[in-house]
Chains A and B, each alone.
Chain A
Amino acid sequence: MAFASKSPWVIHYDASSCNGCDIEVLATLCPGFDGERFGVINTGNPKHADIFLVTGSVNERNISVIKEIYDQMLEPKVVVACGICACSGGIFHDCYNVIGGVDKAIPVDVYAPGCAVRPEAIIDAIVEGVAVLDQKSKALKEQKKGAK
């Protein structure tokens, strides 16, 4: 068993959403849903985080920021697109400045659609992401063994 699944630390980045999904992400981490039951901690630091929660669509201004945060995170890492804007661009998909969903910038592992995405859906997505995290952690271990 990998320990990655026991303590998924998240980092949250608001790309360009209307803030609806951000409020839901924070609501997920509040006492009502108590993400810490599963070891979820909201870190403000990509270097400590395992799961990258992105809300909102990608545009020309923030694509470099998203890539930078993703690059600063250490393996194993998982990206969760929270809300329909982060999944596909949502109602803003044909705006002149919008590139599209988060997967236009970085590889996304779990999609959590919704407008705004419900806390239950986010928890579901994080649990799904934790399973991916476990797989990646195992793969990394194999790789380390192979290197030796």
Chain B
Amino acid sequence: MTLISTLIGTLVFAVLAPVLGCLLAGLDRIVSARMQGRVGPPVLQPYYDVRKLLEKEDASVNSVEKTYIICALAFALISGGIFFSGGNLLLCVFMITLSSLFFIVAAYSSRSPYAEIGAHRETLQVMAYEPMVLLFAIAFFVAVGSFDTAAVLNLREPAIASIWLVFLGLLYVLTIKLRKSPFDLSMSHHAHQEIVRGITTEMSGPTLALVEITHWVENVLFLGWIGLFFVWGNPLSIVLALAVMVVVYFLEVFIDNNFARVKWQLMLKSAWIVALVCGTINLAILVF
């Protein structure tokens, strides 16, 4: 039963998430442009970019790079499928981490010094956010009584009521996960503050298009995590969750446009301190 629902969830997610993620990315670019006093590109600009990249010559420094990127995309899709079909949150977290690891390995496989710097930094980012994400899954289990995301539909009050501290912690590492400034260490969407192009330096054409699609899918999934806090037995709560997701995404764009990149030491320390304070205190309150 769960296998079939996960399969169906993954298929539906694979169709819908890129569309939603693409629109989100387009909105991000318009809102960013307006914040900088510019008109900005059309909403469908990310779609045009990806179509163009798919049209480009298919060249790569080695033959495995694209395979790794396809794996990264596939596991991101499975992760989203598990999450949105009401599956196990812990499995979803591990799947999306596996997806990030494939992305890192793809960058390392090119053996380019610039891509390697990007890969080092991406590894640091994974190290920085992973404790908080794991604590989020554990706190979710303690608060809801199950790792299954579908369990929130039986709640009488949303999970945010008991694990709001974890929500704040997750909000902090979300900036790292979405690769927004000040934590866009591995790959900035703004080329002017990048060493060549960070982790995607050696990825080009169709491979880069797959990377972009992976990011869209990831963004949708991470916003889903945010929405999970606000869903309970009442069907109307899904509207509330969507509203919160929009607000959070706007907040992330706002932060992106107002902060310069920090050093990795600060990112790692602050993310771990946030995880320690928000995650463990919240868990302690719940358990005792």
Residues of A within 8 A of B (CB): 2-4, 6-7, 9, 31, 34, 36-39, 41-45, 47-48, 50, 74-76, 137, 140-141
Contacts and interface: CB of A to CB of B under 8 A. Distances in A.
B186 to A, nearest CB: 14
A31 B48 contact: no
Given A42-B191, A42-B192, A50-B52, A34 B197 contact: no
Interface string B36-73: 11111100010011011001110100000000000000
B49 A39 contact: yes
Contact of A74 (B29, B38, B197, B205): B205
Interface string B195-217: 01100111111001000000000
Contact of B41 (A2, A4, A37, A44): A37
Interface hub of B36, B194, B202, B204 (most chain A Cβ within 10 A): B204
A4 B59 CA distance: 17
B281 interface: no
Interface string B119-155: 0000000000000000000000000000000000000
DSSP majority for the B interface? loop
B33 interface: yes
Contacts of A39: 41, 45, 48-49
A140 B41 contact: no
Given A7-B49, A31-B37, A37-B39, A43 B197 contact: yes
A36 B29 CA distance: 9
Contacts of B200: 48
A43 B57 CA distance: 18
Contacts of A2: 55
Contact of A44 (B36, B38, B196): B196
A5 B197 CA distance: 22
Smallest CB-CB A-B distances: 6 pairs: A6-B48, A3-B51, A45-B197, A47-B204, A3-B52, A75-B57
25 contacts: A3-B48, A3-B51, A4-B55, A6-B52, A7-B48, A31-B36, A31-B38, A34-B39, A37-B39, A37-B41, A38-B41, A42-B192, A44-B192, A44-B194, A44-B196, A45-B197, A47-B201, A47-B203, A48-B200, A50-B56, A74-B204, A74-B205, A75-B57, A76-B56, A141-B55
Contacts of A31: 36-38
Interface hub of B36, B37, B57 (most chain A Cβ within 10 A): B57
Contact of B52 (A4, A34, A42, A47): A4
A48 B33 contact: no
Contacts of B201: 45, 47
Given A3-B48, A4-B52, A76-B55, 5 more contacts: A9-B49, A36-B33, A41-B191, A44-B192, A74-B205
